[in-house]
Amino acid sequence: MSAVFTDHANGVREVFDSSSYEPAAGLATCGHCGRTWDDDHVSGSTPTSSGRCPFEYDHVYEED
């Protein structure tokens, strides 16, 4: 059985299976990387301000 979520060292709770996670959770999904997190899980990095992705450090951007 796969994990439904994992807690990262920075406190962000990344959710892998939203259908098996808490139904009332405030899930957010990044439009750039597609990763989902529980924005209701209070940590040093969440809730995120202005809908910013807590995984921005992993984002890869093409150069102009």
Averaged confidence pLDDT in the chain: 89
Distance CA 46, CA 64 (A): 31
Q: Which of 8-12, 20-24, 58-62 has the lowest mean pLDDT?
A: 20-24
Q: Give the Cβ contact number of residue 12 at 10 Å.
A: 21
Q: How far is C-alpha 29 from the geometric centre of its chain's CA atoms? A: 6
The mean pLDDT value for 34-44 works out to 91
- The fraction of the chain above a pLDDT of 90, given in percent, is 50
Confidence band for 25, pLDDT divided at 50, 70 and 90: confident
**Is-cis flag, bond preceding 47, omega within 30?**
yes
The reported pTM is: 0.81
Cβ–Cβ under 8 Å, residues 40 and 47: yes
Distance CA 14, CA 36 (A): 6
